[in-house]
A and B are shown apart, each in its own frame.
Chain A
């Protein structure tokens, strides 16, 4: 019984939240890694792209709510998601036309694009705050729980409850669909293959009749979709606050680099590695240890390695270790 309680406690406080967080990071890291692979630079504006897409999604969610449109038990935000994606796509294509295209025509080296993306980041940053403000917004509705902790306790008779929030389940389902679609697109469709070809060898892609401008446009569209989905899922799960999205850039980059920059599979693996480490190291293990260890060995303190305030330190510690011992990341991306 103690063992079961320990497992349930672990699932409830570590595995389930970390899996949902990992899926959100993975979606974000996929966007970063795609831009790195195809446009050759690290896009620092990615966190704020997520924030912008989510902002538009929230505005549409509120509008739908005011009209009384809803998806029943599912959050209305899922209905607004396509509009958020469209909004983010318009912003990205506009930015590309006004900003990035100039540098492409100059054949500017990628490091210049990195700095440019930083400027774009600040613009997006201001834009989002201008539209929706700096405060936290909650926009989840529908059923909050698939299984609540109390129901679980009553069902199983265990002391520990296992809560499964509907947003967590939705995160996993939507992320799985998005990743499956992305891989199908990159590996099976003509346009997807042409993007990989462009990423492999720009000149040869050109000589094969692949239009670089089209590849760039499609890349931005996919990135807009990934970023909005990631941002909306994160917002549904934990609430939307522009500054938090700006900070999310850090674990997202850590995930992309740990997995191997330029490798989509690596981005997913990296997202989960970072999420699990963050949650496990900042979790107070006293409860689980209490069930598993004999009474004499039970820890007096919380058995929490690091306060949650320091969770970003975890991603960076992992980043440093990976860079020291496996610079190409877990999935043979680019050597960093």
Chain B
């Protein structure tokens, strides 16, 4: 697949000698220094160009930004590089050019783990919970890097997602799709992040649950945490967005406030179905 013979697993289906399922996918890399830098927004991925591993570029000169107290949404057709753009901001991508700025610091050289320590919370699209651990343990693990008392933060998460309080001792893997997403968001909130990044939080949940999740996300934003979100349901997402980014083939196609984009005839025509 990647040309690395150590990663060739073709033909091995014997679960009695190796555990099935994916191991870690995040490539290990050394963290570089963070430097002070001036920026207009709280979190900016500026002119990002890059792709996975040694593969071709997926992003081309793509810029994404989110300000304090705002919700920014990345939308676009399938394969436009929405999730990739978010992963680039989070440091899971080899960037060939461009930089990422957080709160007046250039964090381009930092590894994803170190970005978490800098205050970025990330909720991946899939595999975003610890399925065999209880809801409470999931939240505890979210706060792993914190040394102080986490009780109050946990209460805040339970207040935000009351259903999780009832299910605190249940294994997270036994919950419904919507509840799992709540666990995933709750886990990311446990670090008390300065910015929250959500990769398609409503993927695979029913429309009713989706509305509820959007309500919760707005609630999180009201507490002052800026949110950067990738969404498949462009119309609903743009309705709650302060800033919207329409990506096409890894490039910024349209940028504006959520309302502007919803009103833009070209955007409506191509992505919102008229």
Binding site for B on A (CB under 8 A): 36-37, 40-42, 103, 105-114, 190, 193-194, 196-197, 199-210, 212, 253, 257, 261-262, 334-336
Report the Cα distance A212→B113, complex, angstroms: 11
Chain B residues near A208 (CB-CB < 8 A): 116, 141-142, 144-145, 187, 191
Min distance, Cβ B55 to any Cβ of chain A, angstroms: 15
Report the Cα distance A261→B14, complex, angstroms: 12
B140 (CB) vs chain A CBs: closest residue: A193
Chain B residues near A203 (CB-CB < 8 A): 24-26, 124, 127
Chain A residues near B270 (CB-CB < 8 A): none
Min distance, Cβ A311 to any Cβ of chain B, angstroms: 21
Q: Are B23 and A202 in contact (CB under 8 A)?
A: yes
Q: Are B141 and A40 in contact (CB under 8 A)?
A: no
Q: Are A109 and B9 in contact (CB under 8 A)?
A: yes
Q: Are A108 and B140 in contact (CB under 8 A)?
A: no
Q: Are A336 and B28 in contact (CB under 8 A)?
A: no
A-contacting 9-mer, from B43-51, B97-105, B130-138, B214-222: B130-138
Chain B residues near A107 (CB-CB < 8 A): 4, 6-7, 23-24, 27-28
- Which B residues from 1 to 25 make CB contacts under 8 A with A? 4, 6-9, 12, 14-20, 23-25
Q: Are B131 and A114 in contact (CB under 8 A)?
A: no
Report the Cα distance A201→B128, complex, angstroms: 8
Report the Cα distance A107→B24, complex, angstroms: 8
Contact of A206 among B26, B129, B140 (CB under 8 A): B26
A113 (CB) vs chain B CBs: closest residue: B18
Report the Cα distance A206→B28, complex, angstroms: 10
Chain A residues near B141 (CB-CB < 8 A): 193-194, 197, 205, 208, 210
21 pairs, A vs B, C-beta closer than 8 Å:
A41-B18, A42-B17, A105-B28, A106-B6, A107-B23, A107-B28, A109-B7, A111-B9, A111-B17, A196-B133, A200-B133, A201-B129, A202-B23, A203-B25, A203-B26, A209-B113, A209-B116, A210-B141, A257-B16, A262-B19, A336-B15
B122 an interface residue at 8 Å Cβ cutoff?
yes
User: A203-B24, A210-B144 given as contacts; is B19 within 8 A of A112 (CB)?
Assistant: no
Min distance, Cβ A158 to any Cβ of chain B, angstroms: 45
B226 an interface residue at 8 Å Cβ cutoff?
no
Q: Are A261 and B127 in contact (CB under 8 A)?
A: no
B117 an interface residue at 8 Å Cβ cutoff?
yes
B20 (CB) vs chain A CBs: closest residue: A334
User: A40-B23, A202-B23, A208-B144 given as contacts; is B133 within 8 A of A197 (CB)?
Assistant: yes
Min distance, Cβ B102 to any Cβ of chain A, angstroms: 16
Binding site for A on B (CB under 8 A): 4, 6-9, 12, 14-20, 23-28, 112-113, 116-117, 122, 124, 127-133, 137, 140-142, 144-145, 187, 191
B90 (CB) vs chain A CBs: closest residue: A207
Min distance, Cβ A267 to any Cβ of chain B, angstroms: 14
Chain A residues near B128 (CB-CB < 8 A): 204
Summarize A's interface: helix, strand, loop or mixed.
Answer: helix
Which of A110, A113, A203 counts the most chain B CB atoms within 10 A? A203
Contact of B15 among A105, A109, A261 (CB under 8 A): A261
Min distance, Cβ A22 to any Cβ of chain B, angstroms: 21
Min distance, Cβ A111 to any Cβ of chain B, angstroms: 4
Q: Are B17 and A209 in contact (CB under 8 A)?
A: no
Report the Cα distance A319→B144, complex, angstroms: 39
User: A106-B4, A201-B127 given as contacts; is B113 within 8 A of A206 (CB)?
Assistant: yes
Report the Cα distance A112→B6, complex, angstroms: 7
A43 (CB) vs chain B CBs: closest residue: B17
Contact of B19 among A41, A209, A253 (CB under 8 A): A41
Chain B residues near A40 (CB-CB < 8 A): 18-19, 23
Chain B residues near A205 (CB-CB < 8 A): 130, 141
Q: Are A206 and B17 in contact (CB under 8 A)?
A: no
A111 (CB) vs chain B CBs: closest residue: B12
Which of B27, B28, B144 counts the most chain A CB atoms within 10 A? B144
Min distance, Cβ A114 to any Cβ of chain B, angstroms: 5
Q: Are B23 and A114 in contact (CB under 8 A)?
A: no
Chain A residues near B137 (CB-CB < 8 A): 193, 196-197
Min distance, Cβ A259 to any Cβ of chain B, angstroms: 13
Chain A residues near B133 (CB-CB < 8 A): 193, 196-197, 200
Q: Are A335 and B9 in contact (CB under 8 A)?
A: no
Given contacts A41-B18, A197-B137, A204-B124, 20 further A-B contacts (CB under 8 A): A103-B6, A107-B27, A107-B28, A109-B8, A109-B18, A111-B9, A196-B130, A196-B132, A197-B130, A197-B141, A204-B129, A207-B26, A207-B113, A208-B142, A208-B145, A208-B191, A209-B145, A210-B141, A261-B16, A336-B16
Report the Cα distance A200→B173, complex, angstroms: 10
Q: Are A207 and B112 in contact (CB under 8 A)?
A: yes
Q: Are A207 and B116 in contact (CB under 8 A)?
A: yes
Q: Are B117 and A108 in contact (CB under 8 A)?
A: no
Contact of A110 among B23, B132, B140, B187 (CB under 8 A): B23
Q: 5 nearest interchain CB pairs?
A: A202-B24, A209-B145, A110-B18, A108-B6, A109-B9
Report the Cα distance A11→B112, complex, angstroms: 59
Report the Cα distance A41→B9, complex, angstroms: 13
User: A201-B131, A206-B112 given as contacts; is B18 within 8 A of A42 (CB)?
Assistant: yes
Contact of B130 among A113, A190, A201, A336 (CB under 8 A): A201
Report the Cα distance A200→B145, complex, angstroms: 18
Min distance, Cβ A57 to any Cβ of chain B, angstroms: 29
